[in-house]
Chains A and B, each alone.
Chain A
Amino acid sequence: MRKTTPSQDFIRGIWNENPVLIQMLGLCPALAVTNSVANALAMSAATFFVICCSSVLISTCKKFIPHEVRISSYILVIATFVTLADMLLQAYAPVQHKELGAFIALIVVNCMILGRQEAFSAKNSVFRSLLDAIGTGIGFTIALVMMGGFREILGEGRFLGYSLFGPNFEPWVIMVLPAGGFLTLGFILLAMGFFEQRKKAKTEQAVEVSS
């Protein structure tokens, strides 16, 4: 059995177990709505809100939820917060809400959120669950904004709507199309795998030298 400290709970979701880049969870929104940074941010904010609220509520009520109906209860809690996020976004960020469309409602089935409830919030204190949820939410945000950034810069020559390269830049339209999402994710994972491997090789070398 492995004990974790609160800081580990927090960091884990951001880097070591980044939901999108390492665990490969929540890929549907990561591919679908990252054609601009603004959309990626709106999606991340909605997901962040849902995962934090659900984690706090579920870890608070964990003693009252019978084991047999826990999954349905979790889904109910998550769906409620997603509906709230949907309505709030529509009221206060109507432009983004229109861009994201059905993907807001689809946060309900983001397995990253349900996964954290089942694996962590259901068995840990409220404080630890909140830390875990914030970490996971930040990790998700980092991945989405990274993808949105690449795609918007290459696909439209802009970042957050500000033109970067002047009028002579020919946008790579494919980057804002669905295919660009897969390409971007593929290259990010490739880069991460490359550095991971190099790090591994270095540590192995160090072990050999020392022994």
Chain B
Amino acid sequence: MSEKGIKEEIAVEEPATPESQEIPVTETVSTFRLVATLAIAGALAGLLIVLVNQHTKPIIDKYKAEQLQIAVYEVLPDVERYNTFYLVDDALSLSLPDGAKESEYKRIYVGYDTANKVSGVAISRGESGFQDVVQVIFGFDPVSGKLSGMKVLDSKETPGLGDKIFKDLDFVKQFFAGPETPLVGVKSGAGKGQPNEIDTITGATISSKVVISIINNGLKEWRPVIDKGIPQAPAVSANEEVSP
């Protein structure tokens, strides 16, 4: 906006107070003052943000952890507790190298039954869907390779069509019925009764195929690592999660 435009607006808005008339007229303010004003304002803004962040961060983290925990127990129904394993140098590890950032490592969630035996593995993975990345968490039995569940964590698929991948319970139920892997998507009703078939949703073929592809690719990526063996975890480990 030009200087003139602002002056005109002052005139329309309100009888100009002495200050607002003076400001544009006074000789140029020193550069130091300009820098100082912005620096002080910036410092105060930063301080305020840090203070609020300190207050809200634990709440946000707790909520995220809770959501993840609920999702893991949902896709691994028979699990008593679970551990988070990170992929460090192509092997599974319970702990990260010193000074490493947690968010930079891929991870899986290994579930144990009451006898402390591995009974399921949950993997979270995202791939491009019809609109944006679809984030899915799914659980499977590492011995038989059968799926134990699937949950869509995040998706921006078309309301009314693509969002059926988590709203259409008939579609979701198929993943909890223990299908064998790798999955094959078939048109609804056109299946041959194979144990690895998933009926896709009419009108949401792309979105349903994305879910299937996420699971197949996730298994392809992780099976070799898991088959090398999951390290023994202590019965009660540091990051143990207790079933709600």
| Chain A positions near chain B (C-beta within 8 angstroms) | 1-4, 35, 62-69, 72-73, 76-77, 79-80, 83-84, 87-88, 90-92, 94, 98, 118-120, 122-124, 155, 171, 173, 176-177
Residue of A nearest to B22 (CB): A67
| B16 is an interface residue with CB less than 8 A from chain A | yes
CA distance A171 to B23 in the complex (A): 57
Interface contact B60-A76, CB-CB below 8 Å: no
Interface contact B160-A171, CB-CB below 8 Å: yes
With a CB–CB cut-off of 8 A, which chain B residues contact A80? 45, 48-49
Interface contact B161-A67, CB-CB below 8 Å: no
Residue of B nearest to A92 (CB): B59
Interface code B118-161, partner A: CB below 8 Å = 1, 0 otherwise?
00000000000000000000000000000000000010001111
CA distance A89 to B38 in the complex (A): 27
Interface contact B9-A67, CB-CB below 8 Å: no
| Secondary structure call for the B interface | helix
Closest beta carbon of chain B to A159's beta carbon, Å: 16
Interface contact A122-B38, CB-CB below 8 Å: no
With a CB–CB cut-off of 8 A, which chain B residues contact A1? 11-12, 14-15
With a CB–CB cut-off of 8 A, which chain A residues contact B56? 87-88, 90-91
CA distance A176 to B59 in the complex (A): 31
Chain B: interface size category: 35 or more
Interface contact B159-A2, CB-CB below 8 Å: no
Interface contact B49-A83, CB-CB below 8 Å: yes
With a CB–CB cut-off of 8 A, which chain B residues contact A177? 158-159
With a CB–CB cut-off of 8 A, which chain A residues contact B195? none
Could you say which of B29-37, B184-192, B236-244 contacts chain A? B29-37
Residue of A nearest to B10 (CB): A123
| B13 is an interface residue with CB less than 8 A from chain A | yes
Closest beta carbon of chain A to B18's beta carbon, Å: 11
Interface contact B159-A176, CB-CB below 8 Å: yes
With a CB–CB cut-off of 8 A, which chain A residues contact B60? 87, 90-91, 94
| B231 is an interface residue with CB less than 8 A from chain A | no
Interface contact A69-B159, CB-CB below 8 Å: no
Interface contact B161-A173, CB-CB below 8 Å: yes
Interface contact A120-B53, CB-CB below 8 Å: no
| B77 is an interface residue with CB less than 8 A from chain A | no
Closest beta carbon of chain B to A78's beta carbon, Å: 10
CA distance A180 to B10 in the complex (A): 39
Interface contact A176-B19, CB-CB below 8 Å: no
Closest beta carbon of chain B to A76's beta carbon, Å: 5
Residue in A65, A73, A173 whose beta carbon sits within 8 Å of that of B159 in the complex: A173
CA distance A29 to B159 in the complex (A): 18
With a CB–CB cut-off of 8 A, which chain A residues contact B42? 76
For the A-B complex with A87-B49, A171-B160, A176-B160 known, give 15 more contacts whose Cβ atoms are closer than 8 Å: A1-B14, A64-B37, A66-B34, A72-B38, A79-B45, A80-B45, A83-B49, A84-B48, A84-B52, A87-B52, A90-B56, A91-B59, A118-B1, A123-B20, A155-B159
CA distance A72 to B38 in the complex (A): 8
On whether A3 and B34 interact (CB within 8 A), knowing A118-B6, A177-B158, the answer reads: no
Interface code B24-68, partner A: CB below 8 Å = 1, 0 otherwise?
100011000110011001100100110011011101100100000
Closest beta carbon of chain B to A77's beta carbon, Å: 7
With a CB–CB cut-off of 8 A, which chain A residues contact B53? 87
Closest beta carbon of chain A to B241's beta carbon, Å: 20
| B17 is an interface residue with CB less than 8 A from chain A | yes
Residue in A69, A76, A119 whose beta carbon sits within 8 Å of that of B34 in the complex: A69
Closest beta carbon of chain B to A194's beta carbon, Å: 28
With a CB–CB cut-off of 8 A, which chain B residues contact A155? 159
On whether A173 and B160 interact (CB within 8 A), knowing A76-B38, A84-B48, the answer reads: yes
Interface contact A63-B19, CB-CB below 8 Å: yes
The 10 tightest CB contacts between A and B, nearest first, are: A173-B160, A91-B56, A80-B45, A91-B59, A67-B23, A66-B29, A87-B56, A123-B20, A176-B159, A69-B34
